[in-house]
Chain A
Amino acid sequence: MSSIVQHIARFIGLLFLQVLVLNQMTILGWATPLLYPLFVLLLPIGMPLGWQLLLAFGMGVSVDAFAQTGGMHALALVFMTFLRPAILGVITPKEGYQPDDQPTIAGLGLSWFLVYAGLGFFVHHLVFYLVEILSLVHWQHMLFRTVFSWVASLLLAILALYVTYPKAGKRTL
């Protein structure tokens, strides 16, 4: 029960952090951190994919409504969400996932989370910037921005987890 409240709060918190703060930021004029995919990455591991996709679409469309980007955020986030089971599968711990495992730093460790979130954010950012530019003429530029923004988002995601889960320090690496 409390976890549902937690997810709703995270949805709203990340949405407003993204549209009111992060979207106004450009790092060195090159990239904007896109932190909202963290919402999907932190959904329970066992959640039915259909629900995940619907929630991802809701989040994406909300960000789009503020950023005036049509459906670009929605498209990228739904794409990432669809690949999430595959990402989770690739980096399954030796003993497999336990029923109460949380896909967080506190739950599965920092190195696991780095690979997990790293892959997730990369897929999302790549699709997003590809759709935004809608051409392959400027592919170097697109790739550069993807990587730039990806690093920023990933650092921010880890920072956010350490801030909101102070106990994470107990199980690093």
Chain B
Amino acid sequence: MRNLIRFLVRNNAFFLFLLLEGLSLWLIQRHQAYHHIKIVNSTNQITGGIQETYHDITGYFALRRINDSLQQEMAQARSGQLPPAYAAQLVKVDTVVDTIYEQRYTYWPVKVIASTVHHADNYAMLDRGTKDSVREGMGVIGPAGIVGKVVAASPHYAKVMTVLHRDFRAAVQLKRQGLRGALRWAPFSPTQAKLDYIVEPADLKLGDTIITSGASTYFPKGIVVGTIADFSLTPGENFYDITVDLATSFSSVRYGYVIKDQYLAEKDTLMTLE
């Protein structure tokens, strides 16, 4: 007993060690439960501010590249590839077709002020938060394709779970064939993902484009996800093993759009009716 007490006294650093490690574990656990955190805590306001300043400075070096991608996007918008509208068709008996376009999705421009690609689960930070109506559960796209989903928002910043996260899923489809599947990250690759649930036989080709299917409320239909990099079929399996090259370069994405679905509430109500 005396030995034990002497041990405890002599090793008080050991208890400090245990305490600090316990504290770290608690912080990690709290962080992992990201979906329970509705408000990003105040430290993010400080670190977010510093990171934003840093982004503003380094942003100049990326201006040429950003200009190029903006131009590309303009070209896309001109050819009507962004799906901003919902076409409501009224077909009457006298065959007069009246097509009106009603705004369904709103795109808010945001800056991506920080993003990671090399962690086991990756996030990005946006420079807009609840003050600009950015809320948890909104989809985020970049100039090239999908980026992720907002998982937390503070007044001025929002945290995005990018495709490069082990919990990320998105409803997608093959553009050419229309086959629907689910997208998930190919863990730890900064550029690739997997496409699940494509049943054989399917007419697949390398380079086939994958787009969002619009089945989830995060993304409208038709946002580019990536292209097929590789596919194979294990004998006896029903589903292909498909690897996807993601369109978005997550290490260099600098700006994007937060998507709000105006019909979200309506869709939700309908889904919960049964």
Q: Which residues of A contact B (CB under 8 A)?
A: 19-20, 23, 26, 29-32, 48-50, 53-54, 56-57, 60-61, 64-72, 74-75, 78-79, 82, 131-134, 138, 141, 145
Chain B residue nearest in CB terms to A49 = B13
Q: Do B27 and A61 touch across chains, with their CB atoms under 8 A apart? A: yes
For B31, the chain A residues whose CB sits under 8 A away are: 68-71
Q: Do A53 and B17 touch across chains, with their CB atoms under 8 A apart? A: yes
Q: Do A132 and B119 touch across chains, with their CB atoms under 8 A apart? A: yes
Q: Closest Cβ of chain B: how far from A79's Cβ, in Å?
A: 7
Q: Which of B12, B50, B120 contacts A133 (CB 8 A)?
A: B120
CA distance A161 to B26 in the complex (A): 34
Cβ contacts A to B, 30 pairs, < 8 Å: A19-B47, A20-B51, A23-B116, A26-B117, A31-B118, A49-B16, A50-B13, A53-B13, A53-B16, A54-B16, A57-B23, A60-B24, A61-B27, A65-B47, A67-B116, A68-B44, A68-B159, A70-B29, A70-B30, A70-B31, A71-B23, A71-B25, A74-B27, A78-B17, A78-B21, A78-B24, A79-B21, A82-B13, A131-B28, A133-B120
Q: Which of B186-215 contact A (CB under 8 A)?
A: 187-188, 190-191
Interface residues in B, total, Cβ within 8 A: 37
For B158, the chain A residues whose CB sits under 8 A away are: none
Q: Do A53 and B20 touch across chains, with their CB atoms under 8 A apart? A: yes
CA distance A88 to B24 in the complex (A): 25
For B29, the chain A residues whose CB sits under 8 A away are: 70
CA distance A54 to B13 in the complex (A): 10
For B118, the chain A residues whose CB sits under 8 A away are: 26, 29-32, 145
Q: Which of B24, B25, B187 contacts A57 (CB 8 A)?
A: B24
Q: Do A68 and B125 touch across chains, with their CB atoms under 8 A apart? A: yes
Q: Which of B105-128 contact A (CB under 8 A)?
A: 116-120, 123, 125
B101 beta carbon closer than 8 Å to chain A = no
